[in-house]
Structure 1
């Protein structure tokens, strides 16, 4: 992407350095169960500007006065959590790297979430790539003039706020053993907060507590990493802890309802050169005759599950709950990342932090490289030069 860095990296790459990268990433942290790619992405200024412009268009929709009204049906009734905040604290937008009619590399929106991502790990990953591969000091994963120090200050401001760190906890069902646990531990190290599994939390009245050194400590804020879609209907997991759907004396960072409001559900409302044509299936008057150019996606699914790629008219007609599906024009990824033996496809996630009472701030990014039919671990299990990565840009 920035050719001089791409050529330098490929010329100097060794398997020994790659294994050193993995070893350094895991030092002091749990093992990483997902594949880390051999290389970062070197994002050009031109692509950076397009990614920023695409995000600004999406945010303008989210900030509309009627956005909550537009997305009210996005929240499944069984997962509606009380005391929703005025705005989410996190925004993540995933773009596939494609080529436009002029042959220029351009981003196309694939997915979006009002939910946190690997905000801790991505900084750790960028730092380690730069250290192991001796990359230029001028390269950075951050936006808006942030550096590692100011980035974690902003992150802490959003997550911890005015509370003491011990009053805030990162929470997931079985947090220490999740696939993304390394992100949890990097976050806890920088922010000073606790990592708690759901069953570590005790409910008394409307208050939540955890125990440490035989002391009971009240939780004031939950940095929520629990995705209801992953639980499905298994509400038994709440029996030995608390049910998030109850009225509780606790703040959510970010509130669970935003996971649904900012999601595939939002995409039909977006009209942009960076967004593929998208329709709610139940609003379609006629089925397109060129279904080979479309993909069918369930609104409520996790990590690409349930997506129908090689689509037929019979597939469309077989859908009963049409209001829970979108039909989206396919995005053609271009193998624009040149690795030693070929080009590989890439996706870039733009990650924003939104402090209370302020504007959303683009701060860091996440990348994924792929040779498979889709981006994702299960489609790239047998390849190298694929997996999680980060975009590095020249400081201006």
Structure 2
């Protein structure tokens, strides 16, 4: 997005450098990520950085309202979704913005989705360091993945403080469903290395009354005090084959690092509650008084799905009429991503995830990192970018 940086990066790029970069990532944990890692980072200019920060602040004003929980109680489509011992703040928050152009050609972020759930915090840390290692000669030193003066060292220390804190790392687990088979496995391995915590499948939890345990490598029972939850409920619902002693509805003596209820409260369900320059118009389908005439400018989204499953980008009145469970759908104004990243063939579009974390010491939710997805397809996602180059997961370096 910053022309001089992009020109210099593209001129210095080679497939050989890119392959060495990928090989280095693979060697980090003797594991090859199954998702596409982009050939380039993204250079984010000051003006856009300011707008992204302003957009995050606008959204946090709503989430920080005293009645936010009351406003989002409808996000739980049945009582079997409510996990006991909910805390007062979402530990993790992800805000996804499509980067667009206004009528004057200025770059503007538009909110696509939001999540009260962890993201790839530690993989992004690794990715940023690898871009610097292999392409550092064309990434200015004063550009950073982080804002507000935070350094990579500060970032890791904050994550350690919030996920582990003073607890024995052996008594903190990262919880997933068959973690080694997940697309995000490399982030789990990076988290394990950085924090010294155990990666555990939910099927390996041992429940005794209100206490949870796991067996360490020596077969010794270790009592669990904290759970860094990475389980997506959509997947858990589908895995009827899993045999578990623990249910999320159980009352257990553990501290949730990222309480599961925030997965619902801060989600697509939140979109209609948000207003402002950086938020597209969004409506609960069952509360829509009149269907817009310009449906070509809208997308239809299921409220309870993950990774773009079920999203319709070519909406028709017939499609809306045929939805039987309208309370489970959202009609959202379409966001026109701008093709602003020059590549070796056609320009690419991008989506910027601002990664936030609630700091328990300051009692404030802070922007701590970012994740970027580069696309040349109709939507951001693997199936829309198959066989394309200069697309995939990336990170942004903000101009200071």
Give your verdict on TM over 0.5. yes
Does 2:197 align with 1:196? no
Selected match of 1:230 from 235, 238, 250: 235
Unaligned ranges ≥5, structure 1: none
Shift of 1:28: 3.1
Distance 1:52 1:243 in 2: 38
Distance 1:3 1:192 in 2: 41
Distance 2:167 2:35 in 1: 33
- Quote the residue 2:333 is aligned against: 329
Q: How many residues align?
A: 394
After the TM superposition, which of the residue ranges 43-52 and 374-383 deviates more from structure 2? Answer: 374-383
Distance 2:66 2:205 in 1: 36
Distance 1:101 1:56 in 2: 24
TM-score by length of 2: 0.96
The two structures, once aligned, show a CA RMSD in angstroms of: 1.1
1:1-396 aligned at under 5 Å gives the runs 1-29=1-29, 30-77=31-78, 78-134=80-136, 135-212=139-216, 213-237=218-242, 239-356=243-360, 358-394=363-399, 396=400
| SS of residue matched to 2:359 | coil
Distance 1:351 1:261 in 2: 17
Distance 1:57 1:18 in 2: 38
Shift of 1:235: 4.8
Shift of 1:233: 4.9
| SS of residue matched to 1:354 | strand
Q: For 1:152-174, what per-residue CA distance to the aligned partner results, in whole angstroms no more than 9, with x for missing partners?
A: 00011111122111110111011
Contact 1:367/1:391 (<8 A) preserved: yes
Shift of 1:288: 0.9
TM-score by length of 1: 0.97
Shift of 1:386: 0.3
Shift of 1:353: 0.9
Runs ≥4 in structure 1, deviation > 6 angstroms? Answer: none
Q: For 1:109-142, what per-residue CA distance to the aligned partner results, in whole angstroms no more than 9, with x for missing partners?
A: 0010000000000010011001101233222101
Shift of 1:325: 0.7
Q: For 1:364-393, what per-residue CA distance to the aligned partner results, in whole angstroms no more than 9, with x for missing partners?
A: 000000011110112111101000000012
